[in-house]
Amino acid sequence: MIPTDVILAHNLTLDEYDRIVQLLGRAPNLVELGMFSALWSEHCSYKSSKVHLRRFPTEAPWVVQGPGENAGVIDIGQGLTAVFKIESHNHPSFVEPFQGAATGVGGILRDVFAMGARPIALMDALRFGPLDVVRNRLLMHGVVAGIAHYGNCVGVPTVGGDVYFEPCYSTNPLVNVFCLGIAPRDRLHFARARHPGRSILYVGAETGRDGIHGANILASRAFDETAEAKRPSVQIGDPFMEKILMEACLEIMQAGLIEAIQDMGAAGLTSSAAEMAARGGCGVILFLDRVPLREPNLTPYEIMLSESQERMLLILKEGTEAAAEAILRRWGVAYAVVGHLTDDGRLRLRWQGEWVADVPVAALVSGHPVYDRPGTPYTLPPAETIPWKEPSDLNDVVRTWILSEDFASRRWIYRQYDHMVQINTVRRPGHDAAVLRVQGTSAALAMTLDGNGRLCYVEPFVGGLMAVAEAARNVTAVGARPMALTDCLNFGSPENPPVMWQFRQVIEGMREACLVLGLPVVSGNVSFYNETEGRPIYPTPVVGMVGLIEDMGAFPIPVAHWTHAGDAVYWVGRITPVLTGSTWARQHGVLNLGSVSFDIQYEVRFQAALRQAIRRGWLHTVHDVSDGGLLWTLVEASLSGEGDLGWDLTLDPPASRLDAFLCSEIASAAVVALPEAHRRAFETAMDQAGIEVHYLGRVTDDGRLRLRIGRTTLLRLSVRPWRQRWLRALEERLRLDTVVYAR
């Protein structure tokens, strides 16, 4: 029998260990225990989330592959598919920021090209603690450098993302990476090993000791004061190896030599071998003596659990070994035939002439318990009234925002990323969504990332609802039709009932939005245990949305800033004057200022009407109302542009407090600018669709922002000097006397 302390050290409960004994009919040896602990971990098995994830809609006529594969796939016409997925690398990025973030990029790239798709774009969603804390600045420096290093070296553009700063992320930063690829529909590949006797080919970097227990210890357990001791569990990446591995694998797949392929990601050789075999109903024999090793004296336990990067496992079609090996030699990629498929449904390991493991594949992959953990609802006591005075002058508000980490330009981040490599990027970072051309066609794809943990903490259902709605709205803002989403659900410990209630509520909100908007969830990831010493992060669903523009030549794609002096400025849609969960309320130390509701049916009509106006070529500028509300949307549309384009606008006095209206983030709304010639047609179309439209004034070329309420001027600001401060603000807040991170 294995000692209790060894079982618990593998992050297994004693009940789970008893279940393993029952499935095997005997006690496991240490190698087998390690494999079970990895594949039964929360990170690999989804044992606490499966019952809830099944609530998501996953099918649509354009869905080719939904959840359950390396990545999701949708049909985009002309014989092509879009392949995409989002993954987290949160705990590794806290323990080792540079390598944790870098290998997060490498892992999601492999998930996408394992489907036979060439990756064309990356995005990242980042969450850090406040930047007045030195450690948070160090974490951010390291994470951004790691993402830039890996993406730039491998030659895939990072075209956008988002970043938020909240105290709850100080000891649990979030690093979520979203990858999009393109593949011909008839050349898609899957991780399903179906034919006994086929050879198993190990391809890529040699196996080392890095990453051992990454899935079951680092990613499936809350942090405490021993977090630094987990540093050896973080993988070390090599983007140049990734590049040649990707090219070699794509060429082998294009040549039709592969039956199945999977990345050796979480749980390494164990997960890739067992999961491919389970999907196809086969067994596996692996000869561990043949596995290429980076260092001597690795044990079978270490070989099977290593999460060394840049490795793939391939199942070759019969008789294709020589052709595959020729391609790999030409690319200079290491490889070895390490085993073959069997028909007995077992995973067996041979090492130095002895059998060191023999377990049923099904027990490893799907024998784990599935938990429906209890959830306990909570409600935050609302403030009886807004506990600060209504601002009578917006100049100080806007100037403070411009210099704050909440609203400062993200240029410092995205200038470190090569966002033009592959020359597909049509809309660069800084817009509501990135746009990428699909080479060889007139089509383009839009992609965006969205998610507001603060609102999800106050109102989990509404937060989940709005995360999907805003992602779809951002894709709509460039004229694309939202098609499908991938999600990364970042939460605290599922063993904590309030966290589990948050999780259920967020999923129900997301589900309702998906159903009403007609959007399937085709892939995703759950990241639990994002807490340190019992302090969880905000519930943070991050939604990656992909939209389709069938013909880029059919209409001009609008931008998120002003482009033409004299354009008429409108805000269209609906704003609920409630400050609950808003940045403005948080800056005053308050979160809950009353209940929040969101009309998803109205959102559908709003997006349809806005998309139609864009596709008719009426709009030069479209910028959705979200963080900072209508006020910041208007200001940012000037700061993010060039030259002296500002505005001269007049608002009707709102029925509510001025700041409750201007700073509310509960909205199905956008700011648009259009030439005089299209005003009447635009207003008529919005009216016919039942969408409110409010004329504000004009884009000017005098370099000033002027906002009046009635006859009272509340804001007067010069664009150029404040644009320069805005562009430098984040970099200045991130300055350190010494920045240290491992490369």
Q: Which residues are identified as catalytic?
A: 43, 89
Between CA 471 and CA 476 the distance in angstroms is: 9
Q: Taking the CB of residue 98, how many other CB atoms lie within 10 A of it?
A: 24
CB 474 within 8 A of CB 425: no
Residue 372 corresponds to which amino acid? Answer: D
Beta carbons within 8 Å of 396's beta carbon, 6+ residues apart: none
Q: Helices 497-517 and 600-615 meet at what angle, rounded to 10?
A: 50
Between CA 346 and CA 124 the distance in angstroms is: 38
Beta carbons within 8 Å of 141's beta carbon, 6+ residues apart: 97, 734, 736, 739, 741
CB 452 within 8 A of CB 465: no
Q: Is residue 196 within a helix (H) or strand (E), and if so which, with residue range? A: none
What is each CA distance from 57 to 382, 448, 487, in whole angstroms? 34, 20, 13
Joined together, the tokens standing for residue 576 give 């609920």
Between CA 125 and CA 578 the distance in angstroms is: 26
Q: Taking the CB of residue 365, how many other CB atoms lie within 10 A of it?
A: 21
Beta carbons within 8 Å of 721's beta carbon, 6+ residues apart: none
Is the alpha carbon torsion for 124, 125, 128, 132 positive or negative? Answer: positive
Nearest to 365 by CA among 246, 275, 457, 253: 275
Residue 244 corresponds to which amino acid? Answer: I
Q: Is residue 573 within a helix (H) or strand (E), and if so which, with residue range? A: strand 568-575
Q: Is residue 401 within a helix (H) or strand (E), and if so which, with residue range? A: helix 394-403
Residue 251 corresponds to which amino acid? Answer: E
Q: Helices 134-154 and 239-254 meet at what angle, rounded to 10?
A: 40
Joined together, the tokens standing for residue 94 give 């806290």
- HSE-CB for 238 with a 13 A CA cutoff: 14
Residue 89 corresponds to which amino acid? Answer: H
Between CA 140 and CA 146 the distance in angstroms is: 10
Between CA 224 and CA 239 the distance in angstroms is: 31
Q: Taking the CB of residue 675, how many other CB atoms lie within 10 A of it?
A: 14
Residue 360 corresponds to which amino acid? Answer: P
Between CA 263 and CA 286 the distance in angstroms is: 17
